[in-house]
C-alpha cells in the first residue's frame, strides 16, 4: 500500500528555476491521480520527485508514514512508464519485461511466471521473442507497461504514456489502463496535458500552472465547478466562452448579467453568491455545450448573433458565432442547417453559467 503526501514541497532546479511551488497534495492509497496542465507546468517534475529521480528542494514528501525526501529510487517501491517507453533495443520483449526483476535477483521461475502473466494480461504473449524494433507503437507501450506490472509496485507512475499513440489506440489504451488500475489495486499517478485523458482516467485531477496547483478534485468537480478561468478554459471542447459585462438587478429579488442588448437571467444559486454586487463588472463563462438551438427560450435566456463558421465534427457540429466584437464557439446538433452570415438564436442554459472576477480570474460562485 502507498499513500503519498506532499507538504509545502518546492523544487528549484540548479539553474535557479522554481518548477514546483509550495505543493500540498495527498494521494490516497489505491487512488488514480492525474496531474494535468500545459507543457512546462511542473507535472513531470512532481512525478520525478515521487520516483526519486529529482530531489525535493524544500518541504516534506512522505510515503505512508515515512519521509522519503532522501530515499534513493530503488528503495521506493515505485515503477515508472515513460512517454518514450525506454525499451532496450537489443533485448527481446521477454528480457525487456524481465530485466528489472533480474537486477533484483528474483528467482528464474518467479520471473518467468510474472513475465508470462503480464504478457497474457497485456495480450503480447505471442511477441515475447520479438525485438522492440519489430513492434508497433501500441505494442511497445504494452511492453513498457509489462515491465512496470511485473515489479508489482506500491506506486505506479506514468509520464504521458499514451502520447505517441494514434487517436483510436489512445482511447482503447485508456480503457486498458483503467482496468489495470482496478486489477492491480495500487496507487497510480499519471501525467498528461490531455484533458480527455484526465477526465476519463482519474479518481481525482490535479490541475497545475507554472508550478502552482490550481485545483484538486474529481473530474466532475473540475469540469462543473472550475475555481478560475485557467481551469475553466483548460477543460472543455471547444473551450468555454467568456463575455465581460455587468451584474444588474432583475425583476423582484433576481439578478441578471447585462452587456449591451444582452440580458441573461441569473439563477438563484448565482444570485445568492452575488448579493449586494449590483454594478460589478464580471466575466461570464458559457460552456460550448450549454446552449440549445431548438428550445424556444424565454427572453433572458436568448443569445443572438451571426454565424461565422459551421464545423461538422461527426456526432455534432461546432458553431462559430459573432457576438459584438467577440467570437463565441458552441457545440450544436448536426441537423442545424446554418450557413455563414445567417442570424442565429441560441437558448442559454443559465443554470450552468459561470461567473469570474475580472482581476483575480477566480470564480465568484464556487
CA–CA separation, 324 and 259 (whole Å): 10
CB of 49 to ligand ATP, least distance (A): 10
Residue among 1, 13, 102, 298 that touches ligand ATP (CB under 6 A): 13
CB of 157 to ligand ATP, least distance (A): 12
Counting residues that bind ligand ATP (by CB under 6 A) gives 13
Q: Please identify, using beta-carbon distances, which residue of 195 and 317 lies nearer to ligand ATP.
A: 195
Rg (CA), the chain: 25
What's the full length of the chain, in residues?
366
CB of 225 to ligand ATP, least distance (A): 24
Q: Please identify, using beta-carbon distances, which residue of 235 and 266 lies nearer to ligand ATP.
A: 235
Cell triple for 228: 478560475
CB of 243 to ligand ATP, least distance (A): 31
Kind plus residue range of the DSSP H or E element containing 112: helix 108-121
Q: Please report, as residue ranges, which positions from 175 to 204 form the binding site for ligand ATP (by CB under 6 A).
A: 193
CB of 201 to ligand ATP, least distance (A): 16
Judged on CB neighbours under 10 Å (0-12, 13-18, 19+), 176 is middle
Q: Decide if residue 229 touches ligand ATP (CB under 6 A).
A: no
Q: Which stretch binds ligand ATP (CB under 6 A): 13-21, 61-69, 166-174, 239-247?
A: 13-21
202-206 — which CB contacts under 8 Å span 24+ positions? 202/32, 202/33, 202/34, 203/31, 203/32, 203/33, 204/31, 204/32, 204/33, 204/34, 205/33, 205/34, 205/36, 206/25, 206/33, 206/34, 206/35, 206/36
Contact 319, 310 (CB under 8 A): yes
Q: Decide if residue 153 touches ligand ATP (CB under 6 A).
A: no
CB of 42 to ligand ATP, least distance (A): 4
Helices and strands counted in the chain (H then E):
9, 20
Q: Please identify, using beta-carbon distances, which residue of 54 and 316 lies nearer to ligand ATP.
A: 54
Q: Decide if residue 17 touches ligand ATP (CB under 6 A).
A: yes
Q: Please identify, using beta-carbon distances, which residue of 160 and 290 lies nearer to ligand ATP.
A: 160
Phi and psi at residue 296, to the nearest 5°? -80, 110
Q: Which residues of 2-20 are buried (b: 16+ CB within 10 A; e: fewer)?
A: bbbbbeebbbeeeeeeebb
Q: Which stretch binds ligand ATP (CB under 6 A): 12-20, 318-326, 344-352, 355-363?
A: 12-20
Cell triple for 89: 533495443
CB of 195 to ligand ATP, least distance (A): 13
Q: Please identify, using beta-carbon distances, which residue of 83 and 322 lies nearer to ligand ATP.
A: 83
Q: Please identify, using beta-carbon distances, which residue of 3 and 209 lies nearer to ligand ATP.
A: 209
Cell triple for 196: 480527455
Q: Please report, as residue ranges, which positions from 32 to 91 form the binding site for ligand ATP (by CB under 6 A).
A: 37, 39-45
Q: Please identify, using beta-carbon distances, which residue of 13 and 88 lies nearer to ligand ATP.
A: 13
CB of 45 to ligand ATP, least distance (A): 3
CA–CA separation, 322 and 307 (whole Å): 6
Kindly list the residues in this chain that would bind ligand ATP in the complex (CB under 6 A): 13, 15, 17, 19, 37, 39-45, 193
Amino acid at each position: 500500500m502507498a499513500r503519498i503526501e506532499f507538504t509545502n514541497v518546492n523544487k528549484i532546479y540548479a539553474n535557479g528555476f522554481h518548477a514546483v511551488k509550495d505543493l500540498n497534495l495527498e494521494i490516497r492509497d489505491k487512488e488514480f491521480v492525474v496531474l494535468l496542465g500545459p507543457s512546462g507546468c511542473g507535472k513531470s517534475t512532481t512525478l520525478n520527485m515521487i520516483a526519486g529521480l529529482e530531489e525535493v528542494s524544500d518541504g516534506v514528501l512522505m510515503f505512508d508514514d515515512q519521509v522519503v525526501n532522501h530515499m534513493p529510487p530503488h528503495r521506493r517501491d515505485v515503477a515508472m512508464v515513460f512517454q518514450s517507453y525506454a525499451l532496450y533495443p537489443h533485448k527481446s520483449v521477454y528480457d525487456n519485461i524481465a530485466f528489472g526483476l533480474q537486477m533484483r535477483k528474483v528467482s528464474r521461475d518467479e520471473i518467468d511466471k510474472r513475465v508470462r502473466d503480464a504478457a497474457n494480461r497485456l495480450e503480447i504473449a505471442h511477441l515475447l521473442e520479438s525485438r522492440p524494433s519489430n513492434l508497433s507503437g501500441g505494442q511497445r507501450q504494452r511492453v513498457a507497461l509489462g515491465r512496470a506490472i511485473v515489479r508489482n509496485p506500491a506506486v505506479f507512475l506514468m509520464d504521458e504514456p499514451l502520447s505517441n499513440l494514434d487517436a483510436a489506440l489512445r482511447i482503447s489504451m485508456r480503457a486498458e489502463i483503467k482496468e489495470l488500475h482496478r486489477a492491480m489495486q495500487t496507487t497510480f499517478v499519471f501525467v498528461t496535458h490531455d484533458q480527455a485523458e484526465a477526465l476519463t482516467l482519474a479518481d481525482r485531477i490535479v490541475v497545475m500552472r507554472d508550478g502552482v496547483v490550481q485545483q484538486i478534485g474529481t473530474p466532475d468537480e473540475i469540469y462543473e465547478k472550475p475555481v478560475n478561468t485557467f481551469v475553466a478554459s483548460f477543460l472543455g471542447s471547444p473551450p468555454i466562452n467568456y463575455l465581460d459585462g455587468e451584474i444588474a438587478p432583475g425583476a423582484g429579488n433576481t439578478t441578471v448579467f447585462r452587456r449591451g442588448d444582452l440580458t441573461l437571467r441569473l439563477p438563484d444559486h448565482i444570485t445568492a453568491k452575488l448579493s449586494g454586487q449590483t454594478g460589478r463588472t464580471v466575466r461570464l463563462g458559457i460552456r460550448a455545450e450549454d446552449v440549445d438551438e431548438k428550445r424556444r427560450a424565454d427572453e433572458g435566456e436568448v443569445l443572438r448573433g451571426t454565424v461565422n463558421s459551421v464545423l461538422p465534427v461527426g456526432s455534432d457540429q461546432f458553431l462559430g458565432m459573432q457576438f459584438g466584437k467577440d467570437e463565441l464557439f458552441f457545440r450544436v446538433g448536426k441537423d442545424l442547417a446554418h450557413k455563414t452570415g445567417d442570424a442565429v438564436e441560441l437558448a442559454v442554459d443559465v443554470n450552468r453559467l459561470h461567473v469570474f472576477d475580472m482581476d483575480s480570474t477566480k470564480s465568484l460562485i464556487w
